[in-house]
Structure 1
Amino acid sequence: MRSIDEMLQELCPHGVKFKELGTIAELVRGNGMPKSDFTDEGVGCIHYGQIYTHYGTWATEVISHVLEEKAAKLAKVNPGDIIITNTSENLDDVGKAVAWLGSETIVTGGHATVLKVKPSIDSKYLAYWFQSPAFRYEKKRRATGTKVIDVSANKLATVKIPVPPLEVQREIVKALDQFAKLEAELGAELEAEREARHRQYVFYRDKLVSGTVGADYLRLGDVGGFVRGRRFTKNDVVDSGIPSIHYGEIYTTYGTSTDEAVSHVRVELHDQLRYAEPGSVVFAGVGETVEDVGKAVAWLGNEPVATHDDTFVFTSPLNPKYVAYAVQTKDFHRQKERHVSRAKVKRLSAAGLADIKIPVPNLAVQEKIVETLDSFHALVKDIDFELPAEISFRRNQYEHYRDRLLTFKEAVT
C-alpha cells in the first residue's frame, strides 16, 4: 500500500493547489435558534456552542431537537455538510467545525455557518484541516472584536485551503481516524485504571478504619468537642494576613490534612475570629450537596488558623488525621445523612456531627492506620498526576502527527 507521501509525489509532484474556501464550498450562514427552542423530539439540530463543548471532528447523531415549525426557518445541514462556528468568547472556539455524517437532514442556527462542500472535497478532511495551526493563523488574521471574537462567513470564504486529490484526502482521513481512535482507547484505559485505583483505595480505607479489631464505636461528641467558627466575608479576604479556612475550601481545595492555609483575612479581625489550634479537625457545616457537608480537614500547621462560621472545629485527644480519614468512610456518610437538613443549601449542625459514631482504637493503632492510608493515598495521587501528563503527551503526539499530515507544499501557479 502506498504511503501518503508517495501518493503526493505521484499525483502532485509540484505541490498541492490551495483554493479559497468560497470556491470549494457554498457558505450558508445560520440564524436564530436559542437554546430555549430545544425539545425532546423533532428535527435534529446542532447549536454553535455545542460544537466546541460536545462534538468532535464529525458526528452522526445529535443531542438536541427543535420543532418542525422552528426548523423551517433555520439553515439546513445535509449529510456531508460541515458546520463551523463564527463567534465565541475566545479565538480557539471560533472556527471549530464538525462534519455532519448522519443519515438525515438537520438544522443549525446563528453564530454558525454551513459549508456545503463540492464533490472534490472530503468533509472529514476539511473538518480536520480546520484544527491545524495553518487555519488558526488564518482565522486570527480575520478575527474582530475583543470581548466577543467573530470571524464572519465572508472572511472565512477567503481562507486558502490545501486541496490535494480526493484519494489523498481520504487516506489522510483514514490515518487520522485511526490515530484518534487509538488516542481515545488509550485515554479510556488510563481513566479506567485511575477509577480502579480510587475504588481500591476507598475499599481499603473503609475496611481499615471500620474493621479495626477491638475498637469501640463512640459518638464524636463523647470523645471531643465542636466549636463553631466566626463569620468573615469575601471582602475580608486578603493576600497576606491571618491564615484562614473557609468552609468551601474544605471540599474544593484541601485533602485529608494541611499544614498551610490557602487564604488569609484582614488582621483587623483578629479579636473577632475563632481559631483551630494545631491538631484540630475542621468540618464543613454547609455545602451544595449532602456529600460535601461534613467533609473535614486536619489542621497540622504551626499556628492557629481562623475558621469560617459555617465550619466546626473538632478538638479531641484522637489523632487528627485518623479522624479526617474516618469521616470519609461510607459508614460515616450513612450516619451523616440522617442529620443533614435538605434545603437548597445543605446544613449540618454541631449537634448532628456530635451524634455520629466512629471506631476509636488506641492511639498506636490510629497512627498505624494513618501511616498506611497516607502511603496508599500517595500512590493514588501519583496516578492522578501521571494520568493527565500521559494523556497530554498522547494528545500532543496526535496533534503533531495530524499537523504534519495537513501541511503541504503549495503548488506554484
Structure 2
Amino acid sequence: MSRIDELIQEFCPDGVEYITLGETCDIRTGKGITKNDGDANAMYPIISGGRAPMGYYHAFNRSENTVTISRVGANAGHVGFMERKFYLNDKCFSVLPKEEYHNQFNNKFLFYTLKANESNITGLQSEGGVPTINTTKVSNIWVPKPPIEIQNEIVKTLDLFTELEAELEAELEARKTQYTYYRDALLSFEGKEVEWKTLGTICKNVTSGGTPLANKSEYYNNGTIPWLRTQEVRFIDIYSTEIKITELALKQSSAKWIPANCIIVAISGATAGRSCINKIPLTTNQHCCNLDIDSSQANYRYVFHWVCAKYEKLKSLGQGARADLNSGIIKSFPIAVPSLHEQEKIASILENFDSLVNDISSGLPAEIEARKKQYEYYRNRLLTFKPIQNSSTAKRNHNANFKVVEFDHFKSKAD
C-alpha cells in the first residue's frame, strides 16, 4: 500500500468531497495590457491568452503559486501555473482558493487537477467567432477536495515526475546543441580540397508539383495516390501523406509522381527552406521543389543533411513579400561534394546522432515520450477519487449528474 493509499484510508475511507471551482476559488480576469506596454528589461512576465509569456512588465498584479486559465483565443482553456509574481492580462483568469478555503487547498494540487482535464476545459469554448470561455463555465467545473495531507503527498509525487521530465528535456536540448555543432563541423570543408557544385548539377531531375482543384470531390474522394503539402515538410523522412488524390486528379492537374528518396525543399512563405526525404513514391503540391539526386555524384542522405544544415541560409534567399524561394534559387545553391565514400561516412555519422536526438522510436525523445505516458497514467490514477456518498455532497453531485469514470472526473454544470 502506498503512502497516498494509507492517507486515504486514514482521512477519507468513505470517499472524497467534490465541489465546484466557483465555490472554492476566486476566479478573476486580469487587467488589459498590450505588447507595446511591455519592457524586455522588466522582471515580471505578462501572462495572456497564449502558452508563453507575452513579454515582461515593470509591475505585477498576481502573486506566486497561482493557477491560470487562458480565456480568449486559440489557446482558450490552457491551464498554467506561475511560481513567481507576474502580470495577468485580461485574456486570462487567475484561480486562487478563497480565504475560507485557503488552508484546505494546495494550489499546485488544484493546478494538477485542472491540467489533467485541460482538454475538457478547452471544450467549454464558445462556438463561432473568437474562441472564448466565460467565468460561469469555469466556475461550474467540479474538483475533488481531499484532505490537505493527501493533496500535499500527491503534489510531491507529481512534482518528482515533472522534475525528471524537465531534466530529460534539458538534456535533449543540450544534445541538439551538440548535434548542431558536430554536424556543422562535419560539413565544414574550410581549408580542405573539395569539389563544389550546385544542387541542380547533382540531380537527375528537378521538378515541382501541382494542386488538383479543391472543389472537385472526384479528385480526392477515395484517392490512393500520396500527395504531399509543404506543411508536412519538416526535416523528416516521409512514409505517408495526410491527403491522397485520385488517378483523375493526377491526369487533370500538374501533380506528378516523383521516385522515392528525393530531397524535397519547401519554397513557399513560412515553410520556405524546410526539407524532407520521401521514402515512398508520391506526388507534391506546386510549393515543393523536388530534387532527384544522381547517385553517381552524391549520396542523397548527405545532400539532405547539407540542405538541413543550410536552412537559415536558404531561407534568407527568399524573395518578395512572402519571402518565397523558387527552383532556380534551389538549383543554383552551392554544395560541397567530397568523394562518395566520404559522403556516406558523414551521412552515417549524422544519421546515428540524429537518431539519438530526434527519433521518437529511440534515444532521448523515446524516453521522454515514455515518461510522459507514465506521468499521465499516474497523474490520472492519483487524481481519481471515489466521491463521498453519505453527505450533502452526494446529493449535490447527483443533482449535477456527476459521474465517476475511470481516469475522468471532470464535470461542468454548464454541460
Which TM-score band (shorter chain)? 0.5 to 0.7
TM-score (norm. length: structure 1): 0.63
Q: Choose from 205, 209, 217 the match for 2:196.
A: 217
**What displacement does 1:326 show?**
1.6
1:280 and 2:267 correspond: no
Q: Give me the whole-angstrom Cα distance separating, in 1, the residues matched to 2:90 and 2:179.
A: 47
Contact conserved, 1:287 with 1:345, CA < 8 A, in 2?
yes
Quickly say closer, same or farther: Cα 1:152–1:87, change in 2 above 3 A: farther
Residue equivalent to 2:353: 376
Q: Give me the whole-angstrom Cα distance separating, in 1, the residues matched to 2:312 and 2:329.
A: 13
Q: Choose from 225, 242, 246 the match for 1:242.
A: 225
Residue equivalent to 2:136: 152
Residue equivalent to 2:153: 175
Quickly say closer, same or farther: Cα 1:108–1:279, change in 2 above 3 A: closer
Residue equivalent to 2:373: 392
**Pair member with larger Rg:** 1
Quickly say closer, same or farther: Cα 1:282–1:87, change in 2 above 3 A: closer
1:319 and 2:285 correspond: no
Contact conserved, 2:266 with 2:272, CA < 8 A, in 1?
yes
Output one character per residue of 1:329-357: Cα deviation in whole Å (capped at 9) or x when no partner.
2xx3465355322x442212222223322
Q: Give me the whole-angstrom Cα distance separating, in 2, the residues matched to 1:338 and 1:48.
A: 32
Q: How does 1:6-405 map to 2 (within 5 A)?
A: 18=17, 39-40=37-38, 53=51, 93=77, 117-119=98-100, 121-122=102-103, 124-125=105-106, 128=109, 132=113, 152=136, 156=140, 162=145, 164=147, 169=148, 171-211=149-189, 214-224=193-203, 227-233=206-212, 235=214, 238=220, 239-251=222-234, 255=236, 257-258=237-238, 260-271=240-251, 272-273=253-254, 274-288=256-270, 292-301=271-280, 303=281, 305-315=282-292, 316=294, 317=296, 318-329=298-309, 332-333=310-311, 335-336=313-314, 339-341=317-319, 343-380=320-357, 381=359, 382=362, 383-401=364-382, 403=383
Task: Give the secondary-structure state (helix, strand or coil) at the position aligned to 1:294.
Answer: coil
Contact conserved, 1:286 with 1:293, CA < 8 A, in 2?
yes
Structure 1, unpaired ranges of 5+: 56-61, 68-76
Q: Give me the whole-angstrom Cα distance separating, in 2, the residues matched to 1:297 and 1:19.
A: 50
Quickly say closer, same or farther: Cα 1:186–1:207, change in 2 above 3 A: same
1:390 alignment partner AA: R
Quickly say closer, same or farther: Cα 1:18–1:101, change in 2 above 3 A: farther
Q: Give me the whole-angstrom Cα distance separating, in 2, the residues matched to 1:361 and 1:110.
A: 55
Output one character per residue of 1:253-289: Cα deviation in whole Å (capped at 9) or x when no partner.
x61x44655532232233443442345332222231x
Over aligned residues, Cα RMSD in angstroms? Answer: 5.2
Contact conserved, 2:196 with 2:335, CA < 8 A, in 1?
yes
Structure 2, unpaired ranges of 5+: 393-415
Residue equivalent to 1:73: none
Q: Give me the whole-angstrom Cα distance separating, in 1, the residues matched to 2:93 and 2:300.
A: 56
**What displacement does 1:388 show?**
1.8
Task: Give the secondary-structure state (helix, strand or coil) at the position aligned to 1:346.
Answer: coil
Contact conserved, 1:17 with 1:411, CA < 8 A, in 2?
no
TM-score (norm. length: structure 2): 0.63
Task: Give the secondary-structure state (helix, strand or coil) at the position aligned to 1:348.
Answer: coil
Q: Give me the whole-angstrom Cα distance separating, in 1, the residues matched to 2:70 and 2:338.
A: 63
Q: Give me the whole-angstrom Cα distance separating, in 1, the residues matched to 2:278 and 2:70.
A: 50
Quickly say closer, same or farther: Cα 1:227–1:33, change in 2 above 3 A: same
Give the length in aligned residue pairs: 364
Q: Give me the whole-angstrom Cα distance separating, in 2, the residues matched to 1:385 and 1:233.
A: 37
- 181-190 or 231-240, larger mean C-alpha shift: 231-240
Contact conserved, 1:78 with 1:100, CA < 8 A, in 2?
no
